């Protein structure tokens, strides 16, 4: 496993679906979805679709967003409209590494979206890791939003 | 039931209905057979076209897939929200800047200050040579213009290379910001309250403070991290209006006197979301680099705590120098210390308010000198975008020497 990789996407999916990973499906970004995601990211997304894996009410998403300089890759599991698990899979920034720890990502458990498409629970940040924390919150919002569109 | 079977059954039904209906006797069985044959031919033609369409759809899907893969930059993930070009993957550019307007009234001999200043314009350049070796630099223009007779400076504030030793430890060498205080390493304007940086870290630590050297940083587990460096030290002057001021000892690695190096270590705990606790210690063998009589070794201790919970935040910092030497002691500058406490509240994503009390003394070793300074700040930050900030605050000083500057500061800042 390369440096900075804490779990491969495959291992994350394997764990999420107890070894029986469903086929991936794509959700395509319509103009409206692109607008919503741009508002969340505060910049245009460079992707035009997002892959997700679904079994019954559970979906898994793997998304990346740049914190300060490098993309942080995050796996998000959503069940019944709430985050069941958020896990940093790859972290390559030179600062802000604290976000990879479970003590931080645990805060996302059972979090959903409110009507303004913001997280319905406040996430306490980490000093000096502002940009990494921000990237994770954006990824959580995008995954929850896209799950609502299925 | 497929189309051919359906057609045949339908034909049969028609034939039967003809058989029992004298009105339909005009249609012969031969005609019906011909029609059925024609339908079969048509059905085969449709099946063929259908297969061709399926092929075309599959080919279109393949093309779309290829186009998407070409569009997305997938480094480690199944979908990427990230920079596209290989260049951007290896080389990064960023920066920050701040424009300040100060409208301060001086009293007790202090001057008025009515000025507008592009205080800092900074560009970052980084490059990743390999997965384990990275370069980072920060080039700064202060006060907009530099040159002879100009008040600005061009400064190389950071230029270092990190070598990852393993997953948890990194060696650093070059010119870098020292791990002391809250704003010394992270000072992009949208990240802090107050138009101007706080006076305690400015005058005691003294931020922004960089040095040339080498050392290690990394993670110890359980939310603890460390930094430890050996680096160029201060060269504090012993004469003139800036005598014994640590801020004036910053050499900025410009042909810096390196007779006596310094060492800095920091231990930081960020094991609970919202909380940061840190303590830094620095030892300098000779605060004057052997050039100032009566000025010897110095030790700096700095500690701070940051607590953020929902919209509430509070920062508190204490820093103190203990300096040896007969002359520095005689001036009362053998002890220099300060602290501040800054509560804040974010009314919304875009608005935050704060208050800060600062107290510092660069001649705390002498009770005779009127050298203690106090400043209250109260103000607001407005972030129209998460990386852009507009600030306004009011400062009120109450200095022992009676020289105060009170008034309004307004700032515009950005980072990218």
For A33, the token pair is 């979805």
**Dist. CA B157–CA B248, nearest whole Å:** 16
Q: What's residue B349's pLDDT? A: 87
More confident of the two residues B5 and A33: A33
**pLDDT above 80 for B177:** yes
- Closest to A92 in 3D by CA, of A57, A65, A61, A117: A65
CB A71 within 8 A of CB B76: yes
Kindly state whether B242 is in contact with chain A, defined as any CB-CB distance less than 8 angstroms.
Answer: no
Tell me: the pLDDT tens digits for A124-147?
888 778 889 999 999 999 999 999
Tell me: the pLDDT tens digits for B255-264?
777 788 899 9
Separation in Å, CA of A129 to nearest CA in chain B: 10
**Dist. CA B314–CA B357, nearest whole Å:** 12
Contacts of B224 in chain A (CB under 8 A): none
CB A50 within 8 A of CB A27: yes
pLDDT in tens, chain A (150 residues): 456 788 999 999 999 999 999 999 999 999 999 999 999 998 888 888 899 999 999 999 999 998 888 889 999 999 999 999 999 999 887 778 889 888 899 999 999 999 999 999 989 888 778 889 999 999 999 999 999 999
The share of chain B scoring above pLDDT 70, in percent, equals: 89
CB B245 within 8 A of CB B288: no
Q: What's residue A93's pLDDT? A: 79
Q: What is the DSSP letter of B189?
A: G
Residue B291 phi/psi, 5-degree rounding, is -105, -10
**pLDDT above 90 for B251:** no
Q: What's residue A95's pLDDT? A: 79
Q: What is the DSSP letter of B228?
A: E
Contacts of A128 in chain B (CB under 8 A): 185-186, 270, 276
Contacts of A4 in chain B (CB under 8 A): 131, 167
Span B387-402, average pLDDT: 95
- Closest to B117 in 3D by CA, of B391, B376, B390, B409: B409
Q: What's residue B165's pLDDT? A: 93
Residue in A4, A62, A101 closest to B79 by CB: A62
Tell me: the pLDDT tens digits for B65-102?
777 766 654 444 444 444 444 555 688 889 999 999 99
Q: What's residue A50's pLDDT? A: 92
Looking up tokens 């995601």 gives: A37
Residue of A nearest to B84 (CA): A46
Q: Cα–chain-centroid distance for residue B398? A: 33
Residue of A nearest to B387 (CA): A42
Span B284-297, average pLDDT: 92
Task: Write down the mean pLDDT value for chain B.
Answer: 88
- Closest to B122 in 3D by CA, of B145, B98, B96, B155: B96
More confident of the two residues B325 and B367: B325
Which parts of A19-129 fold into alpha helices (H)? 31-41, 102-105
Q: What's residue B14's pLDDT? A: 53
**Dist. CA B46–CA B33, nearest whole Å:** 20
Q: What's residue B27's pLDDT? A: 75
Which residues lie closer than 8 Å to A136 by C-beta, 6 or more apart?
A: A65, A72, A74, A86, A88, A99, A105, A108, A123
Tell me: the pLDDT tens digits for B96-137?
999 999 999 999 989 899 989 899 999 999 998 888 899 999
For chain A, strand residue ranges (E) read 24-28, 49-55, 58-66, 71-79, 82-90
ipTM of the complex: 0.78
Residue B109 phi/psi, 5-degree rounding, is 105, -10
**pLDDT above 60 for B22:** no
Span B300-307, average pLDDT: 97
Residue B46 buriedness (CB in 10 A; 0-12 / 13-18 / 19+): exposed
For B22, the token pair is 């004298």
| Helix or strand (DSSP H, E) at A59 | strand A58-66
């Amino acid at each position: 496993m390369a440096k900075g990789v804490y779990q491969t996407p495959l291992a994350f999916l394997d764990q999420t679906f107890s070894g029986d990973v469903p086929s991936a499906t794509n959700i395509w970004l319509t103009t409206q979805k692109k607008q919503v995601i741009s508002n969340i990211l505060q910049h245009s997304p460079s992707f035009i679709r997002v892959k997700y894996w679904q079994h019954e009410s559970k979906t898994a998403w793997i998304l990346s967003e740049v914190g300060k300089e490098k993309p942080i890759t995050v796996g998000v599991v959503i069940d019944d409209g709430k985050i069941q698990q958020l896990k940093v899979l790859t972290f390559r920034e030179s600062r802000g590494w604290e976000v990879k720890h479970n003590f931080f990502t645990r805060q996302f458990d059972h979090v959903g979206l409110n009507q303004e498409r913001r997280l319905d629970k406040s996430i306490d940040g980490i000093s000096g890791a502002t940009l990494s924390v921000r990237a994770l919150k954006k990824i959580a919002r995008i995954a929850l939003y896209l799950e609502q569109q299925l | 039931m497929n189309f051919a079977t359906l057609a045949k059954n339908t034909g049969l039904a028609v034939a039967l209905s003809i058989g029992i209906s004298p009105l339909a006797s005009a249609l012969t069985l031969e005609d019906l057979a011909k029609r059925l044959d024609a339908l079969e031919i048509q059905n085969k033609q449709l099946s063929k076209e259908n297969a061709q369409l399926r092929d075309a759809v599959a080919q279109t899907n393949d093309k779309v897939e290829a186009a998407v893969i070409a569009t997305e930059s997938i480094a480690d993930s199944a979908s990427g929200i990230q920079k596209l070009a290989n260049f951007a993957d290896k080389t990064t550019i960023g920066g920050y800047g701040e424009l300040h307007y100060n409208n301060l009234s001086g009293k007790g001999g202090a001057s008025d200050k009515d000025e507008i200043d592009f205080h800092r314009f900074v560009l970052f350049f980084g490059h990743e040579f390999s997965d384990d070796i990275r370069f980072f630099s920060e080039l700064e223009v202060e006060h907009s213009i530099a040159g002879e007779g100009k008040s600005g400076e061009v400064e190389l504030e950071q230029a270092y290379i990190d070598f990852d030793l393993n997953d948890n430890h990194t060696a650093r060498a070059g010119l870098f910001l020292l791990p002391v205080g809250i704003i010394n390493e992270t000072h992009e304007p949208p990240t802090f309250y107050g138009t101007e940086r706080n006076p305690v870290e400015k005058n005691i630590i003294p931020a922004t403070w960089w040095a040339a050297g080498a050392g290690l940083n990394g993670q110890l587990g359980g939310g603890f991290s460390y930094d430890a460096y050996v680096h160029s030290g201060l060269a504090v002057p012993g004469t003139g209006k800036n005598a014994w001021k640590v801020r004036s000892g910053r050499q900025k690695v410009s042909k810096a006197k390196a007779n006596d190096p310094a060492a800095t270590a920091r231990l930081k705990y960020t094991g609970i979301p919202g909380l940061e606790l840190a303590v830094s210690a620095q030892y300098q063998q000779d605060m004057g680099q052997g050039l100032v009589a009566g000025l010897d070794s110095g030790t700096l201790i700095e500690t701070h705590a940051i607590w953020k919970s929902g919209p509430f935040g509070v920062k508190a910092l204490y820093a103190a120098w203990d300096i040896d030497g007969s002359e520095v002691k005689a001036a009362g500058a053998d002890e220099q210390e300060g602290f501040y406490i800054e509560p804040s509240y974010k009314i919304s994503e875009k608005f935050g308010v704060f208050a800060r009390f600062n107290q510092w003394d660069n001649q705390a070793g002498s009770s005779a000198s009127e050298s203690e300074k106090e400043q209250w700040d109260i103000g607001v930050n407005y972030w129209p975008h998460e990386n852009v900030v507009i600030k306004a605050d009011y400062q009120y000083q109450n200095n022992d020497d009676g020289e105060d500057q009170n008034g309004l500061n307004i700032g515009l800042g950005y980072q990218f």
